[in-house]
Chain A
Amino acid sequence: MDVLEPYMQEPMEVFHFNRAIVDTNYKLWHDTNSEFYHDFVHYFNRITGMMQPGYFERKYTAFPNGHASVGSMSIQYDKYAGSKERAVGWPGLTPGGWYMVDLFPGMTYNLRTSVLRIDTAIPLGPNKVAIEFRGLGLKSDTPEQRAERVFDHNTIWGPFGRNLHEDLLAVHGQGRAMREGTDSRWVIHGREENSTIHDEVGMRHFYAEWSKRMGRASYDPLGAAA
């Protein structure tokens, strides 16, 4: 959390909460928060991030115990029709900045320009997860500043947001595809690109920790190869 410490000096306030129950494994949600090649799913991220300078230089940093962070870039929010440059920012954060911290095994702190989103994944079964979403602003917000943060949040997040629906739909589909009786139940985390944004080091790091704690290899969890 040291990465976020400079940005968490002011008192904050939760202004958004919702819970989604999805038929998928909790690790697939953490995967969504840990890799960025799924940005191809998000038109919003493609147009405001992927096509802008600095995107492919964003770096993953792995920390002990399975945690990881993703470096920042400057998102061009006005590139999306109906969106605009963020009217409010976050103390200490570069305009358009975006940091993410993934805590093993299922929490994510996502500080995206004007809003801090915190995800908490609660496994309910092998193929069912409850995810709690919280959106935070600053306790010192004026009503106008808070309204801007809520607007920014709802554009991409929340039950009607452009990105969250796409993410949840994706992991729902993964859950269906990997259900028992299907042909293939594997996820390949094979991209190695110097720990830059489409490298899958984040989840390789996660599964190394998972294997250590579970006492079994993630690539052979049932010991079938033994």
Chain B
Amino acid sequence: MEQRQQIEELVYRSCLALDDRDFKGFLDLCDAGFRYKVTAYSPEIRKELVWLDHDKKGMETLFTNLPRHNSDHAPLTRHATVYTVKVDGAQAEVVSALQVFRTALDGGATELFAVARLVDTVKLDGDAPKLAGRLVKIGTRQLGFGSHIPF
């Protein structure tokens, strides 16, 4: 498989795993040094906001704690489109557009929940490409009652 195709598939598989709440599957796609961050720019206070910032262990804990919490269980569907792949030696920077849809359990209506840009760092020096970092630059700042599961 072409390298670009492998990288694109990694991004898409990460979305599928999160859609399916296959958190182990998602973490298996991540390098040991994985870092996940959600940021947003707030014109209201003219600042870049950090809404989540975890290493791989932090993400694992976030996922394993989920059953102890009261969460909205409406399924999220991530629709990603890989825009650019910039390979630099043993890693690549991948920029994708992301739309997240939420389907209400009661009635089944689907609504656009959020738009974001994914800036992924992909490690290429192993058997298969791995996510070394994911920066979710979220555009949507009004997220209703929010979500326990990140994008």
Q: Tell me the residues in window 9-24 of chain B with beta carbons closer than 8 Å to chain A beta carbons.
A: none
Partner of A165 from B44, B61, B145 at Cβ < 8 Å: B145
Q: Does A186 contact B (CB under 8 A)?
A: no
Closest to B44 in A: A17
Residue interface bits A190-202, CB-to-B below 8 A is 1, else 0: 0000000000000
Contacts of B52 in A (CB 8 A): 154, 158, 160
- Looking at the complex, which one of A41, A43, A44, A165 makes contact with B146 (CB distance below 8 Å)? A165
Given contacts A41-B70, A43-B69, contact A160 B49 (CB under 8 A): no
Asked if A18 is at the interface of the complex by the 8 Å CB criterion, the answer is yes
Say yes or no: B47 contacts A159, CB within 8 Å: no
Task: Pick the interface stretch among B80-88, B116-124, B136-144.
Answer: B136-144
Does A81 sit within 8 A of B, measured CB to CB?
yes
CA distance A164 to B148 in the complex (A): 9
- The answer on a CB contact under 8 Å between A160 and B150 is yes
A16 vs B46: C-alpha distance when bound (angstroms): 10
| Closest CB in chain A relative to B20 CB, distance in Å | 19
Known: A17-B44, A154-B53. A168 touches B69 (CB 8 A): no
Q: Are A18 and B141 in contact (CB under 8 A)?
A: yes
With an 8 A cutoff between CB atoms, is A150 at the interface? Answer: yes
Q: Is the CB of B144 within 8 A of A82?
A: no
- Give 1 or 0 for each of B103-140: 1 = CB within 8 Å of chain A CB: 00000000000000000000000000000000000000
Does B47 lie within 8 Å of A168, measured CB to CB?
A: no
CA distance A159 to B49 in the complex (A): 12
Contact A161 B69 (CB under 8 A): no
CB pair A19–B142 under 8 Å, yes or no, is yes
Q: Which residues of B contact A81 (CB under 8 A)?
A: 61, 64-65
Contact B50 A20 (CB under 8 A): no
Residues of B within 8 A of A160 (CB): 38, 51-52, 146-148, 150
Q: What total of chain B residues lie within 8 Å of the partner, measured CB to CB?
A: 30
Per the bound structure, the CA–CA distance linking A125 and B61 in Å amounts to 39
CB of A177 within 8 Å of the partner chain? no
CB A208 to nearest CB in B, in angstroms, measures: 30
In the bound complex, do residue B61 and residue A82 qualify as a contact, i.e. CB atoms below 8 Å apart? yes
Per-residue CB contact flags for chain B residues 60-95 toward chain A (1 = under 8 Å, else 0) read 011011001111100000000000000000000000
Q: Is the CB of A154 within 8 A of B45?
A: no
Q: What residue in chain A is nearest B38 (Cβ atoms)?
A: A160
The reply to whether A16 and B144 contact each other, CB–CB distance below 8 Å, is no
In the complex the two chains form, is B69's CB within 8 Å of A21's CB? no
Q: Does B25 contact A (CB under 8 A)?
A: no
Query: Whose C-beta in chain B lies nearest to the C-beta of A171?
Result: B145
Q: 4 closest pairs, A vs B, by CB?
A: A82-B61, A168-B145, A159-B146, A43-B68
Q: Can you identify 11 A-B contacts, CB atoms within 8 angstroms? A: A14-B45, A15-B47, A19-B141, A19-B142, A154-B53, A158-B52, A158-B146, A164-B146, A165-B148, A168-B144, A170-B70
Beyond A43-B68, A82-B58, A165-B69, 13 additional contacts (C-beta under 8 Å) are A15-B49, A16-B49, A18-B42, A21-B142, A43-B69, A80-B65, A159-B143, A159-B146, A159-B147, A160-B148, A162-B148, A165-B72, A169-B72
